[in-house]
Structure 1
């Protein structure tokens, strides 16, 4: 894909903000392919020119330093160009989840004070007329076509100057992005990310995973998600190429790895489980993969083992969150890859595990508690929500992550599950991820999620929702027996339901809270 020789294979110098990334990359590797989508391929020089046009166009329409620019669409080159163009003119980007309803979208646009919205035609059609109620919104731009009220992205680009737009100089510690978290109750919260946190996260990720100019990274992670954002921009820091899928499908991912000679695949646990269960994997050539990464949720060691056996390359676990602008920990490529561990904290940051009983005492090795994070990656707080900020971040800067974890005393951490997903059954703590890790190891299980159900005697009990492996017809009693071989009796699911698919977020993470209500429609 990138056969053009280069005299400068070294990464670009350190940046003050991500708006400087494409200009720097274009100067160093102008004709190297940077981005491949289903619609087109773009070199660093072409990406830089397009981002410059977006910056010129936004600036001409009154967008300046600190103004909010919101983005919502599936993965596409236009989204990426708009993101970098907005940062270049000093705006604050507001990446939005494509699964938001019209009501949720209107709330976030109003709460963030969005001045401009760039969106796909399908999302604009889906949200209907709710945008009329967003008082701060001055302009809507559609990636697909135009109407009397909506300008097309094509015309936006055509109207802009063709000259380079030099990135606006900003304080690295100033606000760069407001990324709203998908809360289970109430309104979502806007985590404020600084320019420094965005740049550092990408730089540390590139370093830990040893990204190079020769890397070709296949991913379907949403660009709007912190994991997807870091995958794209950390690869470009090293001069590598990103093959960006619009949406994930297992056969398509395998085909792109082969077609492009990918050196990396990056995704969430469900992506690996479904690729391993896909018949197309049997004849696929994955020999170009040097390493893969997985994050977003806990992953069963059996899935890691199976993927590493099939590819002969390490699958590196990572952990992160919106409030950290991406990763918080991972394994270094050449360090021991301890399966089940999220690795070590990124440089310059801290992690610790504290007691859930008193919120102060540090846990001993192997003792579960809440994972806490501190350092320059931690969010500046929640936008327009001082109460939530005070609840999440202690006065001395420690962020409550909401994850239950352990450590081994040597700097490695192990996430057990989300605190909010824990099931309290007859006084015992049951973690859904522990049950999922066991069930996914059964040959007849392709995917599994575990949720809670109310129980008149025990308070709550676990129910498992299983997608059978291709060609398998698993039996509920057999799977229950399998669980009893590997789990304490109180952890064994009270019931096992068979479904065709599981509810997931736009990034592919399992939505446990939706299991009960979606089981009937998904089965």
Structure 2
């Protein structure tokens, strides 16, 4: 195999009759899914999509998304997985920036795609899932296209995918990944987590997200079964785990917090789980312990990013657990913690610094942006991740927080994740996010936005008193606000920098204690 486009064909040859994918409306064997991918590849070729051109996927999780992803790779195209939460303006930027020649989307989202401008080299093909739409080709009609499936061999170092960053400042940037990087990430992750053909994985991670991609294709690589949810719902996730006797559930911290708070948790059958994974954001150890006690399965932490096509650090499933650590580097990946003021130097042992990554998983660069690429990857090949971390003598990495999420209050650096970990230990707290609010004296104050567990009660003073002996005085949240929910990304990560905007309709709370 040279790239992820070879995975399904390889597995179908060995496990053709085994169930590959289960969604709400369709179950497919490896042979059936492989055949659908071939038909997509043939149809794209018939519609003039040439090798090296970009094909975008803009839709919620569904079986057709998976077929379109692998079919586009088989046609020799570069895949552009697009976040479904993008605004029309953001979508237009992504499609124009990567030169998308074809877009797979839902009938409901087709107008946004059609209004996003066109391919400068000719009309852009728009294919719709779930029924036809004006000026588009229905996916079912595409599958009926006659013609031989192309059998192209991918060059391992050639572009495979273009995944756009969240674009917290300016326009999103397209991280270009090679076929080797994407395939390696799936293979190494499957190895570290002990995936086998007997695994059944329940996940609601978005397929366009690199974590979701590795979960799905890493499972396909070994011949396991993926139970793919269109979007996350705590009660439904718990039901699916029991119904399909899932051996793994994989998600972000907020998903576990919501399942632990779900009324249906008491009656859920989680006995089939043998391990679970969590990534995307730091997770309080208290939440990890609660899930492990309830499920009876270890919860494996991991870390990754778009610029490395998925994971870079995780725990080996049979290694001794080290709660609070995201694990060790994947085989062949180098990591170091750099001085915050000068990333060419290592941070002193035990001191927080910026996490740096080097190796075959690092992106080829940002699409069409050599300046941004040079800022992200230094001359020695080290990728600046933007995460603040420490590393112990065994190579285990501990994430402190995102550098951009740091709150600077009165000259002190306050990391939201530290506050979140502490408040999450309170039995009344189901979910918590910490973000900055402006302050005329201190510059910024740390505000904790708390979602209470069903039926639980707590006051700001009570939570402040709970945090007091666990956090240094300057780290304690100066404001605590109770909210019904928290803003999240499409992958379920809490959007810390959006917390203030999300709740501006509420009066600004008074500090819980004097700074």
Q: Of 115, 129, 152, which residue of structure 2 is paired with 1:130?
A: 115
Moved over 3 A (4+): 132-137, 520-523
How many angstroms does 1:212 deviate by?
Answer: 0.4
Q: Say whether 1:112 aligns with 2:112.
A: no
Q: Which residue of 2 aligns with 1:48?
A: 34
Matched-pair contact (CA < 8 Å) for 1:20–1:167: no
Q: Do the aligned partners of residues 57 and 357 (structure 1) sit closer, same or farther apart at CA in structure 2, a change above 3 Å counting?
A: same
Secondary structure of the residue aligned to 1:103 is helix
**Structure 2, unpaired ranges of 5+:** 508-515
Q: Of 156, 164, 176, which residue of structure 2 is paired with 1:172?
A: 156
Matched residues in 1 for 2:203 and 2:460: separation? 34
Correspondence 1:111-260 to 2 at 5 A: 111-125=97-111, 127=112, 130-132=115-117, 135-136=120-121, 138-161=124-147, 165-260=149-244
Secondary structure of the residue aligned to 1:363 is coil
Matched-pair contact (CA < 8 Å) for 1:19–1:167: no
Q: Say whether 1:299 aligns with 2:283.
A: yes
What is the CA deviation profile of residues 138-160 of structure 1, one whole-angstrom value per residue up to 9, with x for unaligned ones? 21111122234111111111123
How many angstroms does 1:473 deviate by?
Answer: 2.0
Q: Do the aligned partners of residues 194 and 429 (structure 1) sit closer, same or farther apart at CA in structure 2, a change above 3 Å counting?
A: same
Q: Of 67, 77, 98, which residue of structure 1 is paired with 2:53?
A: 67
Secondary structure of the residue aligned to 1:131 is coil
TM-score, normalized by length of structure 2? 0.96
TM-score, normalized by length of structure 1? 0.95
Matched residues in 1 for 2:348 and 2:325: separation? 16
Q: Of 369, 372, 380, which residue of structure 2 is paired with 1:385?
A: 369
Secondary structure of the residue aligned to 1:351 is strand
Matched residues in 1 for 2:284 and 2:113: separation? 41
**Structure 1, unpaired ranges of 5+:** 1-14
Q: Which residue of 2 aligns with 1:11?
A: none
Matched-pair contact (CA < 8 Å) for 1:98–1:123: no
Q: Say whether 1:481 aligns with 2:481.
A: no
Aligned length: 506
Q: Which residue of 2 aligns with 1:10?
A: none
Matched-pair contact (CA < 8 Å) for 1:317–1:330: yes
Q: Say whether 1:103 aligns with 2:81.
A: no
Matched residues in 1 for 2:27 and 2:266: separation? 29
Matched residues in 2 for 1:478 and 1:324: separation? 42
Matched-pair contact (CA < 8 Å) for 1:449–1:465: yes
Between 421-430 and 211-220, the greater mean CA deviation after superposition: 421-430
Q: Of 359, 376, 398, which residue of structure 2 is paired with 1:414?
A: 398
Q: Do the aligned partners of residues 516 and 23 (structure 1) sit closer, same or farther apart at CA in structure 2, a change above 3 Å counting?
A: same
Q: Which residue of 1 aligns with 2:253?
A: 269
Give the aligned CA root-mean-square deviation in angstroms.
1.3
Q: Say whether 1:94 aligns with 2:73.
A: no
Q: Of 3, 7, 23, which residue of structure 2 is paired with 1:37?
A: 23
Q: Do the aligned partners of residues 521 and 446 (structure 1) sit closer, same or farther apart at CA in structure 2, a change above 3 Å counting?
A: farther
How many angstroms does 1:170 deviate by?
Answer: 2.0
How many angstroms does 1:491 deviate by?
Answer: 1.0
